[in-house]
């Protein structure tokens, strides 16, 4: 899986902040569905903060484990920004580093961040143990962007139908765009089985930079019946 940009995909996945235009499509962001759209762009500051967090941890673990060490050397030809710290790191710097790490094996992220996965598993196991919800019943849920703080609406001017969008979410393009548009995402792979169940394995810095959970690099599988 190459972490490359897909035009339509990135236009959809890279949506976060104020009233903006991405790939020719307009999006608006709100912190509540009842309030007016934000007028201040928040995508850039969030993306940069997430990129710096991810870059710092990857850089630290490459040095500690030796996995993908070539990505920190002057001899690599991937265009990776060779920085000794995360100060001044941009999303482009991080994406170049992620591309280099995934070039020979996309599963390198699991080796580099194995300690993070173990810490996350411990955290979520405790959350489950302490939960008082009836696990045999469905519970209502809402999906938010930007660490559960933002609602986003997109206007496609009739150029994208629900059927087209559903087909795109089942394609490799959706996984590629997700990895490129979200600095804190390290791996995403989607499959559709014979029963019509779509599942995605996702390894990401769950919680981002704004969530009260902090940065929990969590490896999980999300499944839904189409």
Contact in structure between 83 and 96 (CB atoms under 8 Å): no
Q: What confidence score (pLDDT) does residue 150 get?
A: 59
The closest of 35, 45, 12 to 168, measured between CA atoms, is: 12
Q: Going from the first residue of the chain to its last (226 residues), give the mean pLDDT of each consecutive group of 10, the final group possibly shorter.
A: 36 46 73 76 78 91 94 60 70 91 93 95 88 75 49 74 82 87 90 87 78 77 76
CA distance 207 to 41: 20
Question: Distance between CA 102 and CA 156 in Å, rounded?
Answer: 33
Token pair of 159 as six digits = 């150029």
Tokens representing 114?
């194995």
The Cβ-side half-sphere exposure at 84, using a 13 Å CA radius, reads 0
**Rounded to a whole number, what is the distance in angstroms from the first to the last CA of the chain?**
24
pLDDT on residue 12: 37
Distances (CA, A) of 77 to 57, 82, 112, 118, 135: 22, 12, 21, 33, 50
């Amino acid at each position: 899986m190459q972490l490359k940009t897909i035009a339509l995909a990135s236009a959809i996945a890279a949506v976060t902040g104020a009233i903006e235009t991405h790939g020719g499509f307009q999006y608006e962001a709100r912190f509540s569905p009842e309030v007016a759209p934000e007028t201040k762009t928040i995508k850039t500051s969030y993306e940069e903060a997430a990129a710096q967090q991810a870059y710092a941890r990857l850089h630290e673990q490459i040095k500690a484990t030796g996995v993908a060490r070539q990505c920190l050397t002057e001899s690599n030809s991937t265009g990776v920004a060779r920085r000794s710290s995360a100060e001044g790191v941009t999303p482009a710097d991080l994406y170049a580093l992620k591309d280099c790490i995934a070039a020979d094996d996309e599963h390198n992220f699991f080796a580099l961040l194995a300690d993070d996965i173990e810490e996350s598993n411990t955290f979520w196991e405790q959350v489950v143990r302490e939960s008082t919800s009836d696990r045999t019943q469905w519970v209502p849920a809402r999906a938010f962007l930007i660490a559960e703080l933002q609602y986003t609406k997109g206007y496609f001017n009739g150029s994208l139908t629900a059927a087209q969008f559903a087909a795109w979410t089942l394609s490799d393009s959706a996984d590629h765009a997700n990895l490129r548009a979200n600095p804190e995402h390290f791996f995403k792979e989607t499959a559709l089985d014979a029963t019509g169940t779509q599942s995605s394995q996702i390894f990401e810095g769950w919680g981002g930079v704004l969530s009260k959970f902090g940065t929990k690099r969590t490896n999980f599988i999300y499944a839904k019946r189409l």
